[in-house]
Structure 1
Amino acid sequence: MNTETYRRFQFSLLIGSVFICGAAEGMLLPLIALLLEKNGVSALLNGLGSTSLYIGMLISVPLLEKPMRKLGYKLFLIIGLGLITVPLFLFPISMNLWFWFVLRLCVGFGDSILHLAAQTWITIDSPMNKRGRNIAFYGLSFGLGFAAGPMLVRLIAFGTEVPFITSGFFCLAVLLLLFLLKNEYPELSDSSGSSVRQVLIRYKKVIAATWSGLAVTLAFGYLETSLNNSFPIFAVRHGYNLTQISILLPAFVIGALVTQVPLGMLGDRFGRKRLLPLICLFGSMFIACTGLLSAYFYGIYFTLLGAGMLIGSLYSMSMGYVSDLLDKEQIPLGNILMTVCYSAGCMVGPVAGSTLINWIPKGGLFYGIAIFVFVSSMSCFIHQFFIARKSSLNHSTTQQRVSSH
């Protein structure tokens, strides 16, 4: 296998592992909620249990940079997918709430490990003129997997354990294929040390360089879980039936899938620093319009579809944007901070969304999302202004020194 063929095989396998991870996650969330509901578990405990996935992500991610540098991408991918695969076979053993909480915690750990390795490997290996496109394929793959996952829930008709075991075997097949990859390691900088002070300095530098991109990631986490968890509550309270909800809820995802790769390619061509704040700005307007038109079925559908086309790919777009602002050896830490911000947004989203529905029944859910996305847009504009100003000052200082000599 020549180098170019191997690179294509490697990229395809990375995308495949992200797809299968998304499918497993997309199946687990509704399947477990359904089974616990049937067994009389309260809605509150059911909802708190679903946060274990994000708790696992939030706790594990800050600890992963150093192990990944030592073990390499391949071993990290194998460990991550392994932590997702094994629990899938263990779920049918006992329908105990706390047992499942621990298993979902393991899936959260595995999810974090796999995504960190895959997105860092793809980002660092991609040439600048194809980085946005490749990251967009990463986002598209996870989105398609997450959308396909709920279809496996239907297998429950053949037995409670069938969806878990089926998805487990799919994960196992991809896990075995990962052993065919050659191991590679993230680049190390001369300044990367292990003391607490050195680690904090590196975190400070990366946050200072990428804070606007991290704000976008936080907003996307909030947006995604607010829609997925709180929109059905909003829709039911406003008289929409299950058929209408099943049509409205995927509208945002459909819009995101349609434009994911084209937006990634546009970012490569015109620059993500120009494109990202604009799509956030117009996306926030579409979401605000969803609130204004929330009494109308087609009003919600088309505004959510338009919002999805603009901001449904914010995670992959912000990943490319953050990578553009960092040196290669800083990208793993940038990806870690992105995952932390995304997980934090995911944990805040359902609580804030449900609260806003109670406070402002007519559209409060969407106004909250619109404000988050609008603030992230302004953060990008402000950050770019300061970067341009700093660059201009440095340029004028350099010219003065040259002219003085």
Structure 2
Amino acid sequence: MPPSRYRRKRSLAGVIAAMAVVNLVYGITFPLLALVLDGQGVSKTLIGLNTMVQALAVIVIAPWAPGLLRRVAPSRLMQLVTVFLALLFIVAGLFPNVWFWFPLRFVIGAMTAMLWICSEALINELAEDHWRGRIIGIYAAVGAAGFALGPLLLILTGSDGMLPFYATSGLILCAGIPLFLVQHARMAQHEEKPTGLWAVFWLAPTIMLANVVYAAAAESLMTFFPLFGIGLGISENFALGLLTVMGLGTMILVMPLSWLADHVDRMGMLAACVLLTMVGLLLMPWAVRANALAGAYAFLFGGVEGMIYTLGVILVGERFKGALLAAATTLFTACWGAGTVIGPLLVGLGMDRFGGDRMPLVILLLFALYLPLPLASWYRGRQARHRREERL
């Protein structure tokens, strides 16, 4: 095997392993902080606002990220961030106050954003086009495993005291270890000049908005699903267990679905996943109380919903190269931040105003507003292919 190819595979393995741990941390963080605040009697609207601040940091840091990635090796930057992030979670546990957590979660959000921007840029830089879907599928599957294990770890540690915060900080430090496998090199520079994020957005609005809507749904579920489940009469541990099963569904189903994405129209597949997710949200209040069926529902729902994000990452790598790829990856992460601003705030307001059982309907409305975009993009692409075939 040529050395360059060996280094490429070793670097891919290091980035993917590191992000598995980061996603595990992410999987424990949102339900943990929501449960701590809810136990203090904080309103769901204020919990949503507290979550929103963490997301705002992603948007604030986004304009600076492409320039930083041109100057510093992404893997080196990720290692520095993991150390700082571990310290921040210790501070969060020592001072569990909603008002103190506002500025603290802003900094946590900025650090987490850099980890995602760096990892997605590295994955798309290292993955070759003919197996991009499968590599990103592995990345998404391993990340989903982290998400799935997060709530499970919270079941083991509980949400009281410092133990969950110590465990989270230790795991963050572990995320830096696989990064020693990654070649500490700056991203390749192509002939394109750096492009503004707004200009990049208009090159692929459907792809970018997919992450806005997905993030709004994912963050809302991570934050409010345990509270939604408790309101329906199921236990906290059972609700956290269903979150774990959703993550397992993403982890397992994303691999065959990513293989499928290498063989079908990816935009059409995106539209199909959005539509099926809407059906799943309609069924959610009934399904989570359906005893044995609840696990099967959560598994399938997690797999289909998680594929929306995976397809977004695949489409970014397919659409953008070189300097544009760094900018597009940054914007894609910023769109995640925008979604996490919109989602928990709207869902928290909706649950306070209309009742906790309305959470799935608020999320469904967001997907319904987005669905025409991938449908229109799929139809335009289909028409363009037909015209090309007619000329041949």
Question: What is the CA–CA distance in structure 2 between the aligned matches of 1:84 and 1:170, rounded to whole Å?
Answer: 11
Residue 149 of structure 1: CA displacement?
Answer: 2.9
Given that 1:272 and 1:321 are in contact with CA atoms closer than 8 Å, whether structure 2 keeps it comes out as yes
Q: Number of aligned pairs?
A: 391
CA offsets 1:217-253 (integer angstroms, 9 cap, x no match): 1121122123233334443444444465345444433
**Corresponding residue for 1:403?**
none
Question: What is the CA–CA distance in structure 2 between the aligned matches of 1:177 and 1:297, rounded to whole Å?
Answer: 39
Question: What is the CA–CA distance in structure 1 between the aligned matches of 2:84 and 2:330, rounded to whole Å?
Answer: 18
Question: What is the CA–CA distance in structure 1 between the aligned matches of 2:307 and 2:263, rounded to whole Å?
Answer: 17
Which range is displaced more, 244-253 or 137-146?
244-253
**Corresponding residue for 1:318?**
312
Question: What is the CA–CA distance in structure 1 between the aligned matches of 2:150 and 2:288, rounded to whole Å?
Answer: 28
User: Could you say what secondary structure the match of 1:183 adopts?
Assistant: coil
Given that 2:351 and 2:358 are in contact with CA atoms closer than 8 Å, whether structure 1 keeps it comes out as yes
2:331 paired with 1:337: yes
Aligned-CA RMSD value: 3.5
- Greater gyration radius: 1
The within-5 A match list for 1:340-351 is: 340-351=334-345
CA offsets 1:72-95 (integer angstroms, 9 cap, x no match): 322322233233233234445545
Question: What is the CA–CA distance in structure 2 between the aligned matches of 1:297 and 1:24, rounded to whole Å?
Answer: 28
**Corresponding residue for 1:73?**
74
**Corresponding residue for 1:60?**
61
Candidates 306, 309, 321, aligned match of 1:327: 321
Residue 118 of structure 1: CA displacement?
Answer: 0.8
The within-5 A match list for 1:249-264 is: 249-264=243-258
Residue 210 of structure 1: CA displacement?
Answer: 1.4
User: Could you say what secondary structure the match of 2:320 adopts?
Assistant: coil
**Corresponding residue for 1:141?**
142
Question: What is the CA–CA distance in structure 2 between the aligned matches of 1:155 and 1:250, rounded to whole Å?
Answer: 13
**Corresponding residue for 1:306?**
300
User: Could you say what secondary structure the match of 1:64 adopts?
Assistant: helix
Question: What is the CA–CA distance in structure 1 between the aligned matches of 2:36 and 2:358, rounded to whole Å?
Answer: 30
* Identity across the alignment (%): 19
User: Could you say what secondary structure the match of 1:265 adopts?
Assistant: helix
Residue 131 of structure 1: CA displacement?
Answer: 0.9
Candidates 347, 357, 366, aligned match of 2:360: 366
- Give unmatched runs, 5+ long, in structure 1: 194-198, 400-405
Give the TM-score normalised by structure 2.
0.83
**Corresponding residue for 2:111?**
110
**Corresponding residue for 1:120?**
121
User: Could you say what secondary structure the match of 2:176 adopts?
Assistant: helix
**Corresponding residue for 1:24?**
25
Question: What is the CA–CA distance in structure 2 between the aligned matches of 1:271 and 1:124, rounded to whole Å?
Answer: 22
Given that 1:80 and 1:112 are in contact with CA atoms closer than 8 Å, whether structure 2 keeps it comes out as no
Question: What is the CA–CA distance in structure 1 between the aligned matches of 2:31 and 2:16, rounded to whole Å?
Answer: 24
Question: What is the CA–CA distance in structure 1 between the aligned matches of 2:75 and 2:351, rounded to whole Å?
Answer: 44
- Give unmatched runs, 5+ long, in structure 2: none
Question: What is the CA–CA distance in structure 2 between the aligned matches of 1:340 and 1:360, rounded to whole Å?
Answer: 30
